Amino acid sequence: MEVRILSPAPMPKIIHQDENIIVVDKPINLSVHKGLVIHERTLADFLIEEFPEIGNVGDDPTLRPGIVHRLDRETSGVIVIARNQKYFDHLKNLFKKREMEKTYLALVFGKLKEKQGKIEGEMGRSRRDFRKQALVRGKVGVRKERYSLTYYKVLDESGDYSLLEVFPKTGRTHQIRVHLHSIGHPIVGDKKYIFKEHKKIETPRMFLHAKSLSFIGPDGKYYFFESNPSEEFKTYLK
Asked if residues 175 and 123 have their Cβ atoms less than 8 Å apart, the reply is yes
DSSP code at position 90: H
Closest among 20, 225, 219 to 102, alpha carbons compared:
225
Q: Which residues are catalytic?
A: 72
What is the H or E stretch that residue 179 is in?
helix 175-182
Asked if residues 83 and 91 have their Cβ atoms less than 8 Å apart, the reply is no
- Three-state DSSP at 67 gives strand
**CA-CA distance, 163 to 108, in Å (whole number)?**
6
